[in-house]
Amino acid sequence: MATYIISDIHGCIQTLRMLIEGKLKVSLQDRLFFLGDYIDRGPDSSAVVEYIIGLMRSGYTISCLIGNHEQMMLDSVKGESELCLWQANSGQATIKSYVKMFGFDDDGHLGFLPKAHLDFFTSLKQYFIVDDKYILVHGGLNITAANPLEDTEAMLWSRLDDAPNDFMQDYRIIHGHTPEALDVIADKLKQPNRRIFGLDAGCVYRGMLFPGTGYLVALDLDKWELNFVECLDKW
């Protein structure tokens, strides 16, 4: 049995399939944790969600967090400002992918989503504690809060690279959200005293954000080993 952690897919379905089926060869005995940002920016957000739902239905052990992009989508029905925020962060690419895959039936409340997908998005968790040793979040944690696990805004939006030595000292904290070059991510995983690790290698940016991005990674939690594939998706 292996435990893999994957973050920030952003609609890159071909890359995700290659990572899970080609690189990791995930089995029903393995555990998969996704850290959010399944949608927006890339070409096939709907296909990414459909694929993950399909894995769940096939009996794979999968646990999924919500990312800030999923939250923006869910918030987009609240008003014009929330809708504009999501669209400014590539929400239109997600709508386009759903129209292409399923057609469009706008009922005024995320009507482009099939019920199974809406159920998926509304069931996503804010954080996981794994094996009493790891805290998984999408963005970061509020290091000044009395109970950091109650600050859901920080979990979605903050960018955590370091923290005081006494902050949640019994845990290693693993997150996505902040793109970094692949070699930077790999180097941080080797630092024996580090407790905060990011896994967003900017797959959707394909090296355009800065050199060294353009990869989808999976951390093997048991071996503390990084697996990765270069972005295969085109748009």
d(CA 223, CA 2): 9
List the structure tokens of 32.
């998969």
Question: Does 52 fall in a domain?
Answer: yes
The pLDDT tens digits of the residues spanning 158-215 come to: 999 999 999 999 999 999 999 999 999 999 999 999 999 999 999 999 878 789 999 9
Domain-embedded: residue 97: yes
Burial class (CB in 10 A: 0-12, 13-18, 19+), 229: buried
Residue 61 CA to residue 44 CA, distance in Å, equals 23
- The 10 Å Cβ neighbour count of residue 25 is 9
Structural domain includes residue 223: yes
Q: pLDDT tens for residues 151-162?
A: 999 999 999 999
Predicted TM-score (pTM) of the model is 0.96
Average pLDDT over all residues of the chain:
95
Distance, in Å, from the CA atom of 9 to the CA atom of 219, rounded to the nearest integer, reads 14
Q: For position 235, what pLDDT does the model report? A: 83
**Cα dist from 203 to 11, 12, 127, 180, 216, whole Å:** 10, 8, 22, 10, 5
Is the predicted pLDDT of residue 107 greater than 60, yes or no?
no
Give the pLDDT confidence score for residue 111 in this predicted structure: 84
Q: Which of 79-88, 95-104, 126-135, 142-151 has the lowest mean pLDDT?
A: 95-104
Q: Which domain covers residue 20, as residue numbers?
A: 3-230
Residue 235 counted as domain residue: no
Let me know if residue 65 belongs to a domain. yes
Task: Confirm whether 167 is domain-assigned.
Answer: yes
Q: Could you tell me the sign of the dihedral formed by the alpha carbons of 211, 175, 26, 44, in that order?
A: negative
CA angle 67, 233, 215 (to 5 degrees): 60
Tokens of 39: 């949608």
pLDDT at 209: 77
* CATH code for position 171: 3.60.21.10
Does the structure show a pLDDT above 70 at 141? yes
Partners of 130 in the beta sheet?
A: 134
In a domain, 191, yes or no: yes
Residue 105 has what pLDDT? Answer: 58
Instruction: Give the number of domains in the chain.
Output: 1
- Side-chain-side CA neighbours of 66 within 13 Å: the count stands at 22
Q: Is residue 216 part of a domain?
A: yes
